[in-house]
């Protein structure tokens, strides 16, 4: 009898580890499926806009410039896809020291008439005088209460020709001039690469608008200062020709006033 008991015990012992491995595989498959379901809830392909939208956020918007040609703002405001409407827009205002976007005045006025929350951005040229660039923006953009804070679009430094130290110092000059005029810290728009090169550790007290098309959520950024995420550049909107940049407000809705006049 004792030999039979010992035999059964040994068999159970040998079966334990394969059984444990089998259980771990099941747990892994369940976890993977759960994460997939969570991601599917957070994202949805919205046919009306032609792109996957991060639907775990509720406030969606776009940004435009003269490259979008004539815009029918009434149709933009009425656009809807699976219940998702557009609630804000950023409009290109100026570039460098002298250029004013040729569609800015029209887009700026019509976006307000359409009932969209609006903001204006300046495309920064590293080789141009930052003071003149700030003045160019200030002269062109009449921000009103409720508008977004001014935006600095930093995405150009051809082959790094302007040394990082000088670029950072000049950007600081632009930001300070514009803040002094409007009484609100400007928002910095930047991609992942430029964030690591120039923004991280230098402008951590400024609101951040990040362009990142590579993930389901923008990571590796200052979470306390990240407000807007440009998640796709190939959306389509009724009333606008061609591709449209899509953005989403990633904070609680009540925090939007933190980046508005």
Report the chain's mean pLDDT, rounded to a whole number: 88
Question: Given this model, what pLDDT does residue 135 score?
Answer: 98
Run of H or E residues at 156: none
Question: Given this model, what pLDDT does residue 41 score?
Answer: 46
pLDDT band at 219 (very low <50, low <70, confident <90, very high): confident
Distance CA 54, CA 60 (A): 9
Question: Given this model, what pLDDT does residue 160 score?
Answer: 72
Choosing from 37, 40, 82, 155, the catalytic residue is 155
Each residue of 239-260: pLDDT tens digit?
999 999 999 999 999 999 999 9
Question: Given this model, what pLDDT does residue 34 score?
Answer: 43
Q: Where are the beta strands (DSSP E) in 55-193?
A: 59-64, 80-81, 84-95, 99-100, 117-123, 151-154, 187-191
Question: Given this model, what pLDDT does residue 4 score?
Answer: 52
Question: Given this model, what pLDDT does residue 35 score?
Answer: 46
Distance CA 64, CA 90 (A): 6
220 is catalytic: no
Distance CA 171, CA 177 (A): 10
* 14 pLDDT above the threshold of 80: no
Q: Assess contact for 138 and 174: CB atoms under 8 A.
A: no
pLDDT band at 64 (very low <50, low <70, confident <90, very high): very high
Question: Given this model, what pLDDT does residue 3 score?
Answer: 59
Distance CA 223, CA 235 (A): 26
For the beta carbon of residue 210, count every other beta carbon within 10 angstroms: 26
Report the share of the chain in percent with pLDDT over 70: 84
Of 248, 242, 228, give the one whose Cα is nearest residue 52.
248
Run of H or E residues at 10: helix 2-42
| CATH superfamily of the 47-259 domain | Glycosidases (3.20.20.80)
Of 242, 188, 202, 229, give the one whose Cα is nearest residue 57.
229
* 159 pLDDT above the threshold of 90: no
Distance CA 156, CA 108 (A): 24
Angle between helices 164-182 and 130-140 (to 10 degrees): 30
- Hey, CA dihedral for 214, 220, 221, 224, is it positive or negative? positive
Ranges 14-18, 73-77, 177-181, 210-214: which has the least confidence: 14-18
- Interval 14-24 mean pLDDT: 55
Instruction: Show the DSSP H helices in 47-151 as ranges.
Output: 73-78, 104-113, 130-140
Strands 151-154 and 80-81: unpaired
End-to-end CA distance of the chain: 87
Q: Where are the domains of the chain?
A: 1-44, 47-259
- Interval 231-242 mean pLDDT: 96
233 is catalytic: no
Ranges 2-11, 68-77, 246-255: which has the least confidence: 2-11
């Amino acid at each position: 009898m004792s030999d039979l008991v010992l035999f059964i015990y040994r068999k159970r012992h040998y079966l334990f580890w394969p059984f444990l491995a089998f259980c771990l595989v099941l747990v892994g498959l369940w976890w993977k499926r759960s994460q997939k379901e969570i991601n599917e809830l957070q994202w949805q392909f919205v046919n009306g806009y032609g792109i996957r939208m991060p639907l775990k956020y509720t406030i969606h918007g776009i940004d435009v410039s003269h490259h979008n040609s004539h815009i029918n703002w009434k149709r933009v405001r009425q656009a809807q896809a699976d219940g998702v409407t557009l609630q804000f827009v950023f409009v290109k205002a100026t570039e460098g020291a002298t250029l004013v976007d040729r569609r800015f005045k029209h887009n700026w006025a019509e976006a307000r008439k359409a009932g969209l929350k609006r903001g204006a951005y300046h495309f920064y040229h590293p080789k141009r005088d930052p003071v003149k660039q700030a003045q160019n923006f200030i002269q062109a953009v009449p921000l009103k209460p409720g508008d977004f804070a001014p935006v600095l679009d930093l995405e150009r430094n051809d082959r790094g020709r302007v040394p990082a130290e000088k670029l950072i110092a000049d950007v600081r000059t632009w930001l300070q001039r514009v803040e002094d005029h409007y009484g609100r810290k400007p928002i910095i728009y930047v991609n992942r690469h430029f964030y690591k090169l120039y923004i991280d550790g230098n402008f951590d007290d400024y609101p951040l608008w990040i362009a990142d098309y590579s993930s389901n959520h923008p990571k590796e950024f200052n979470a306390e200062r990240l407000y807007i995420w440009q998640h796709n550049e190939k959306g389509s909107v009724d009333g606008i020709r061609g591709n449209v940049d899509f953005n989403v407000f990633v904070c609680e809705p009540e925090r939007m006033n933190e980046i508005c006049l």
